[in-house]
Amino acid sequence: MRLVVRAAEATGATELIDVSGAHVDSCLYHGEASLDFVDRLVDGGARVGVPTTLNVGAVDLIHPETYRGDPRTAERGRLLMDRYRALGARATFTCAPYQLADSRPSLGEQVAWGESNAIAFCNSVLGARTNRYGDFLDIAAAITGRVPYAGLHRTDARRATIVLRLAPDVPDALRDADVLFPVLGIVLGRRAGSAVAAIDGFPSGQSEDRLKALGAAAASSGSVAMFHVVGSTPEAPTLEDALHSDQPDAVEHIGLAELRVARDQLSTARGDQLAAVSLGTPHASAAQLRGYAALIADRRVHPDVHCLISTGRDVLVSQPQAAGRLRDAGVELLVDTCSYIAPVLRYTDGAVMTDSAKWAHYAPGNVGVDVAFGSARECIDSAVSGRVVRDGSLWGDS
Domain of residue 59, CATH code: 3.30.499.10
Confidence of residue 164 (pLDDT cuts 50, 70, 90): very high
Average pLDDT over residues 136-143: 98
Q: Which of 264, 281, 301 is the last residue of a domain?
A: 264
Same domain, 150 and 7: yes
**pLDDT, position 398:** 66
Cα separation, 59 vs 15, whole angstroms: 38
Q: What is the pTM of this model?
A: 0.97
Q: In this structure, is residue 317 part of a structural domain?
A: yes
Q: Which of 264, 299, 328 is the last residue of a domain?
A: 264
**pLDDT, position 386:** 98
Q: Is 98 a residue whose pLDDT tops 80?
A: yes
- For 330-341, how does the pLDDT look when each residue is reduced to its tens digit (9 = 90+)? 999 999 999 999
**pLDDT, position 213:** 98
Cα separation, 22 vs 339, whole angstroms: 24
Confidence of residue 158 (pLDDT cuts 50, 70, 90): very high
Same domain, 200 and 255: yes
Q: In this structure, is residue 149 part of a structural domain?
A: yes
Q: In this structure, is residue 397 part of a structural domain?
A: no
Q: In this structure, is residue 95 part of a structural domain?
A: yes
Same domain, 242 and 280: no
Backbone angles phi, psi at 273, to 5 degrees: -65, 130
Same domain, 292 and 328: yes
Question: Is 379 in contact with 353 (CB distance < 8 Å)?
Answer: yes
Q: In this structure, is residue 396 part of a structural domain?
A: no
> What is the separation of C-alpha 352 from the centre of its chain, rounded to a whole number of angstroms?
18
The total number of structural domains that make up the chain: 3
Candidates 41, 37, 83, 40; CA nearest to 58 is 83
Confidence of residue 103 (pLDDT cuts 50, 70, 90): confident
Q: Is 356 a residue whose pLDDT tops 90?
A: yes
Confidence of residue 137 (pLDDT cuts 50, 70, 90): very high
**pLDDT, position 197:** 98
Same domain, 31 and 60: yes
- For 58-87, how does the pLDDT look when each residue is reduced to its tens digit (9 = 90+)? 999 999 999 999 999 999 999 999 999 999
Amino acid identity for residue 394 in this structure: L
Same domain, 166 and 307: no
Same domain, 146 and 39: yes
Q: In this structure, is residue 398 part of a structural domain?
A: no
Same domain, 43 and 69: yes
Write out the residue range of the structural domain in which residue 309 sits.
Answer: 268-391
- For 195-244, how does the pLDDT look when each residue is reduced to its tens digit (9 = 90+)? 999 999 999 999 999 999 999 999 999 999 999 999 999 999 999 999 99
Same domain, 211 and 290: no
Confidence of residue 178 (pLDDT cuts 50, 70, 90): very high
Q: In this structure, is residue 64 part of a structural domain?
A: yes
Taking CA atoms, 142 is separated from 131, 215, 356, in Å, by 13, 24, 30
Q: Is 121 a residue whose pLDDT tops 80?
A: yes
Same domain, 326 and 355: yes
What average pLDDT does the structure give for the chain? 97
Q: In this structure, is residue 195 part of a structural domain?
A: yes
Same domain, 130 and 11: yes
- For 273-312, how does the pLDDT look when each residue is reduced to its tens digit (9 = 90+)? 999 999 999 999 999 999 999 999 999 999 999 999 999 9
Q: Which of 229, 264, 299 is the last residue of a domain?
A: 264
Same domain, 231 and 111: no
